[in-house]
Amino acid sequence: MQLESMYQEIILDHYRNPHGRGLREPFEAEVHHVNPTCGDEVTLRVHLETDAAGESILSDISYEGMGCSISQASISAMYDLVIGRSVPEALETGEHFMTLMQSKGDASVAEKLEDELEDAVAFAGVSKYPARIKCALMSWMALKDASARALSVTGGLS
Amino acid sequence: MTATVSRPVGTLPLDVETIRADFPILSRTVRNGKKLVYLDSGATAQKPRAVLDAERDFYENHNAAVHRGAHQLAEEATDLYEEARRKVGRFIGTDDEREIVFTRNTTEAINLVAYALSNAATAKEEAFRRYAVRQGDEIVVTEMEHHANLVPWQQLCERTGATLRWLGLTDDGRLDLADLGTVINERTKLVAVTHQSNILGTINPLEPIVARAREVGALVLVDGAQSVPHQPVDVAELGVDFLAFSGHKMLGPSGIGVLWGRYDVLDALPPFLTGGSMIEVVRMEGSTFAAPPQRFEAGVPMTAQAIGLGAAVDYLSALGMDKVEEHELAITAYALEKLQEIPGVTVIGPVDTVARGGAVSFTVEGIHPHDVGQVLDDLGIAVRVGHHCAWPVVRRYGVPATTRATFYVHTGYDDIDALADGIREAQRFFGVVPRDESREVS
Q: Tell me: the pLDDT tens digits for B70-113?
A: 899 999 999 999 999 999 999 999 999 999 999 999 999 999 99
Is residue A16 in some structural domain?
yes
Edge-first strand listing for the sheet containing B359-364:
B345-348, B359-364, B402-406, B384-386
Count CB pairs under 8 A between chains A and B.
47
Record: contact A6-B374, CB cut-off 8 A: yes
- Whether pTM exceeds 0.90: yes
Record: contact A12-B430, CB cut-off 8 A: yes
Predicted pLDDT at B9 = 84
Mean pLDDT of B145-155: 98
Pairing of strands A40-50, A56-66: antiparallel
Residues B247 and B343 in one domain: no
Residues B343 and B430 in one domain: yes
Q: How confident is the model at residue A158 (pLDDT cuts 50, 70, 90)?
A: very low
Residues B167 and B313 in one domain: yes
Residues B278 and B355 in one domain: no
Residue B350 pLDDT more than 70?
Answer: yes
Which entry of B150, B244, B375, B389 is annotated as an active-site residue?
B389
Residue B435 pLDDT more than 80?
Answer: no
Is residue A46 in some structural domain?
yes
Q: How confident is the model at residue B2 (pLDDT cuts 50, 70, 90)?
A: low
Q: How confident is the model at residue A78 (pLDDT cuts 50, 70, 90)?
A: very high
Report the alpha-carbon distance of residue B346 to residue B354 in Å, rounded.
18
- Domain limits for position B62: 51-317
Please, are residues B332 and B423 in contact by the beta-carbon 8 Å criterion? no
Residue B67 pLDDT more than 50?
Answer: yes
Residues B127 and B144 in one domain: yes
From A132's Cα to the closest Cα of chain B, the distance in A is 9
* Boundary (domain end) residue, out of B274, B294, B317: B317
Q: Among A4-13, B112-121, B171-180, B421-430, whose mean pLDDT is lowest?
A: A4-13
Residue B438 pLDDT more than 60?
Answer: no
Residues B168 and B189 in one domain: yes
Q: How confident is the model at residue A85 (pLDDT cuts 50, 70, 90)?
A: very high
Mean pLDDT of B140-167: 98
DSSP A86: B
Q: Tell me: the pLDDT tens digits for B411-420?
A: 999 999 999 9
CATH number, position B218: 3.40.640.10
Record: contact A38-B386, CB cut-off 8 A: yes
For chain A, how many structural domains are there in total? 1
Mean pLDDT of B251-277: 97
Closest in A6, A41, A69 to B368, CB measured? A69
What is the CA B57 to chain-centroid distance, rounded? Answer: 27
Q: Tell me: the pLDDT tens digits for B132-144?
A: 999 999 999 999 9
- Domain limits for position A58: 3-152
Residue B441 pLDDT more than 80?
Answer: no
Mean pLDDT of B164-180: 97
Predicted pLDDT at B10 = 83
Residues B216 and B342 in one domain: no
From A18's Cα to the closest Cα of chain B, the distance in A is 15
Predicted pLDDT at A38 = 75
Is residue B7 in some structural domain?
no
What angle in degrees, to the nearest 10, is found between the helix axes of B369-378 and A69-82?
110
For chain B, how many structural domains are there in total? 2
Is B389 among the catalytic positions? yes
Is residue B146 in some structural domain?
yes
Is residue A20 in some structural domain?
yes
Rounded to two decimals, the ipTM of the complex is: 0.88
CA distances from B203 to A93, B95, B200, B223, B224 (A): 50, 26, 9, 11, 10
